[in-house]
Structure 1
Amino acid sequence: MDVIQDYLNKCRSITDTVESQKPEIQKAARWFADSILAGRMVHVFGSGHSRIMVEEMWPRYGSFPGFNPIVELSLTFHNLVVGANGQRQAMFLENVPGLADRILRNFDLSEKDAALVISSSGCNVVPIEMAELFQKSGVKVVALITSAHSSQSTSKRTDGKKLGDFADLILDTGAPVGDAMVSIPDLDTPVAPGSTIGGAMLVNCIKAEVARLLTEAGQPPKVLSAGVVVGAEKAVELFESAYDEHAHRLARLYEKVGQGQRPKL
């Protein structure tokens, strides 16, 4: 059995699923570009391994300012696995009601903002409450989930609602139920997940379309670029100016914190 080929074939199927969502990707990109053109930010949140998609959006090579990566270490710090700051605590905390409100208390949200909330199952409490609070603030929410897995999973919320219930638009990673895609003879449990593959493709499709829209609008993004591509001096200039722009955009999210009425769950 060629398990390597099996995984690659399933990744090709994920590519087809992503491609089939082109209209939805374009719609999400339009919302995100509108927020950035308005001088605001797109809030990107994921707990657990969904943080991978947050950091894939920004900051990294080929990305640009306009996105607010919300990555809580208490929900995403995996490498110690056990002991202090271990995985058990992180998995517990991502199902604590009210934590999303404490996170968003740090920001002055606007109806001009947009949000991307990532959760493969769409069933953990914190990402669900994040999406709910964003919607209550008038922020358009794009949910990135694994549709097959979410539909067969049970929400950790007492009312049974899932991330998709608080989304204005849903994108599907195309991964299977349980995420793992390869079955090994004589091994009871499948291995090699696929949601990261589909999620990364979706995020970068959105990123590319947002860059196109910003450029067409006369505000080309400051893209973090390698020195081997643009030259060492230009690369430094781009990094510095992109980080400065990020700081200025982020400052707007802080300047009126606590001055207005905040939506509650």
Structure 2
Amino acid sequence: MSITKQYLEKGRDIISTVERQESIIQEVAQLFAKSILNGRMVHLFGSGHSRIMVEEMWPRYGSFPGFNPIVELSLSFHNLVVGANGQRQAMFLENVSGLAARILRNFDTSPLDTALIISSSGCNVVPIEMAEEFQQRNIKVVALVSSQHLEGSTSKRADGKKLTDFADYVLDTGAPLGDAMIYLDGLDSPVSPGSTLGGVLIINSIKAELANILHKSGKSPKVLSSGKIVGEERAKELFESAYDEHAHLMAKLYENVGSQK
């Protein structure tokens, strides 16, 4: 079997893993829909390459307002690799206790909000503490992890707790321990990860289920769409109205920051 076919075969296994989670994907979509229908937001967080899943949810073509993408550049800016703002610093910072609380200090959250925390291993400190902070605010948490990688990894927290210990719902990307899926003769380290593939499938399944719920509830989402599909004027109208809606939702997260409730 060729290398490409090997990867595609592993990808089919991941699709099967996602397919088996259809019912929980639908439950999560219902959970997120309640937040959006109540005029609140779904908070998204991922450090490192888990940032990819945050941006896959919003904003991009085929997505819509209702999400607060919390992307910290200090934890997810990989372009320079080494030197100032390099990967070593990012990997160090995602295990600094207390950083999650400082990030969330910026937002006036509500128990009507919900949260999606993405981490393949579920073992780095900042994503774990982010989930813990949300739960302390009575916000339901969905964790997106790679179950095999999580189970085979050791938490960086002193108490050994992992992301799934602070999650109300858990979704699995289906990626293997170590993430990479292809072994080559004579090379002891596998290549080509699978968590992004599984994560994108789950994110977009949730997105589609959620859009259907909103549409049927009379709140049709303002979907960022290509002019090649809806026409250039309609596409422009959708982009502007979607960004305006996002701004109005974000304003709610700032209006009472620091005030005593």
CA distance in 2, matches of 1:5, 1:185: 16
Matched, 1:115 2:115: yes
Divergent runs of 4+, >4 A: none
1:29 corresponding residue in structure 2 = 29
The answer to whether the aligner puts 1:62 opposite 2:62 as a matched pair is yes
Q: Between Structure 1 and Structure 2, how many residues are aligned? A: 261
Q: Give 1:45-56 correspondences, 5 Å limit.
A: 45-56=45-56
Distance 2:243 2:122 in 1: 31
Cα distance in 2 for residues equivalent to 1:226 and 1:138: 38
1:58-82 per-position Cα deviation (integer Å, ceiling 9, x unaligned): 0000000000000000000001000
Please give the per-residue CA displacement for 1:194-248, whole angstroms capped at 9, x wherever unaligned.
0000000000000000000000100000000000000000000000000000000
Looking at structure 2, the residues matched to 172 and 259 of structure 1 have their Cα atoms a distance apart, in angstroms, of: 38
1:220 is the counterpart of 2:220 = yes
CA distance in 1, matches of 2:209, 2:135: 24
In structure 1, the partner of 2:106 is 106
Distance 1:28 1:196 in 2: 19
- Number of the residue aligned with 2:3: 3
Return the alpha-carbon distance in structure 2 between the equivalents of residues 207 and 260 of structure 1: 35
Structure 1 residue runs without a partner (length 5+): none
State the partner residue of 1:78.
Answer: 78
Compute the displacement of 1:2 (Å): 1.0
**Alignment-derived partner of residue 252 in structure 2:** 252
Deviations along 1:140-163, one digit per CA (max 9) or x if unpaired, are 000000000000100000000000
Matches within 5 A, 1:1-265: 1-260=1-260
Cα shift readout 1:168-196 (whole Å, capped 9, x = no counterpart) = 00000000000000001111110000000
**What 5-or-longer segments of structure 2 have no aligned partner?**
none
- Distance in 1 between residues matched to 2:61 and 2:194, nearest whole Å: 23
Report the TM-score when normalising by structure 2: 0.99
CA distance in 2, matches of 1:226, 1:213: 22
**Sequence identity, in percent?**
70
1:260 is displaced (CA, Å) by 2.9
- How large is the RMSD of aligned CA atoms in angstroms? 0.6
Counterpart amino acid of residue 55 in structure 1: E
| Cα separation, 2, equivalents of 1:175 and 1:111 | 32
SS of equivalent residue, structure 2 residue 24: helix
Q: Deviations over 1:16-44 (max 9, x none)?
A: 00000011100110010000000000000
| Matched residue SS, 1:235 | helix
Cα distance in 2 between the residues matched to 1:188 and 1:119: 25
- TM-score, structure 1 normalization: 0.98
